[in-house]
Amino acid sequence: MNDFLIRNCKLFDGETFHSDQDVRIEQGVVTDVSNAAERPGAGTDDVGIPTLDGAGKTLTPGIIDCHVHMTTREAGSLDAMMEPFSLQFFQAVEHLSRTLRAGVTTVRDAGGSDAGVKAALERGIVEGPRLRAAISIMSQTGGHGDGRLPSGAESPMLSGHPGRPHGVADGVDGVTRKARELFHAGADHIKICSTGGVLSPADDPRHSQFTEAEIRAIVAEAAAQGSYVMSHAQGSNGIKTALRAGVRSIEHGIYLDDEAIELFLETGAYLVPTLQAPVSVIRAADSGSNLPASVVEKARHVADVHIESIAKAHHAGVRLAMGTDAGVGPHGQNLEELELLSKVGLSAAEALRAATVNGADLMGIDDIGRVTRGAVADLVLFEGDVEADGLVGIQDRVHAVFQSGVHVV
The conformational region for residue 374 under phi > 0 = left, psi -120 to 50 = alpha, else beta, is: left
Residue 148: pLDDT band by 50, 70, 90 thresholds? Answer: confident
140-144, 216-220, 247-251, 404-408 — which is least confidently predicted? 140-144
pLDDT at 403 over 80: yes
Phi, psi dihedrals of residue 258, rounded to the nearest 5°: -60, -40
User: Please, are residues 254 and 199 in contact by the beta-carbon 8 Å criterion?
Assistant: no
pLDDT at 142 over 80: yes
CA distances from 53 to 5, 59, 182 (A): 9, 11, 47
Query: Would you list the domain boundaries of the chain?
Result: 4-61+370-407, 63-334
pLDDT tens column, 277-326? 989 888 888 878 777 777 788 788 888 999 999 999 999 999 999 999 99
51-60, 91-100, 199-208 — which is least confidently predicted? 199-208
Cα-to-chain-centroid distance, residue 290: 25
Of 369, 374, 368, 365, give the one whose Cα is nearest residue 27.
374
159 or 107, which is more confident: 107
Cα separation, 326 vs 334, in Å, equals: 7
User: Please, are residues 114 and 163 in contact by the beta-carbon 8 Å criterion?
Assistant: yes
pLDDT tens column, 73-115? 876 566 677 788 889 999 999 999 999 999 999 999 999 999 9
Cα of first residue to Cα of last residue in the chain, in angstroms, is: 15
What is the CATH number that goes with domain 4-61+370-407?
A: 2.30.40.10
HEC sequence for the chain: CCCEEEEEEEEECCCCEEEEEEEEEECCEEEEEEECCCCCCCCCCCCCCCEEECCCEEEEECEEEEEECCCCCCCCCHHHHHCCCCHHHHHHHHHHHHHHHCCEEEEEECCCCCHHHHHHHHCCCCCCCEEEECCCCEECCCCCCCCECCCCCECCCCCCECCECCCECCHHHHHHHHHHHHHHCCCCCEEEECECCCCCCCCCCCCECCCHHHHHHHHHHHHHCCCCEEEEECCHHHHHHHHHHCCCEEEECCCCCHHHHHHHHHHCCEEECCCHHHHHHHHHHHCCCCCCHHHHHHHHHHHHHHHHHHHHHHHHCCCECCCCCECCECCCCCCHHHHHHHHCCCCHHHHHHHCCHHHHHHHCCCCCCCCCCCCECCEEEEECCHHHHCCCCHHHCEEEEEECCEECC
pLDDT tens column, 223-282? 999 999 999 999 999 999 999 999 999 999 999 999 999 999 999 999 999 999 989 888
pLDDT of amino acid 283:
87
pLDDT tens column, 335-375? 999 999 999 999 999 999 999 999 999 999 999 999 999 99
pLDDT above 70 covers a percentage of the chain that reads: 95
pLDDT at 42 over 60: no
What does DSSP say about strands 104-109 and 130-133: parallel, antiparallel, or unpaired?
parallel
pTM of the full structure = 0.94
pLDDT of amino acid 81:
72
pLDDT tens column, 167-176? 999 999 999 9
pLDDT at 44 over 60: no
pLDDT of amino acid 40:
56
pLDDT at 184 over 70: yes
88-92, 146-150, 154-158 — which is least confidently predicted? 154-158
Highest CATH level, class, for 63-334: alpha beta
User: Please, are residues 289 and 269 in contact by the beta-carbon 8 Å criterion?
Assistant: no
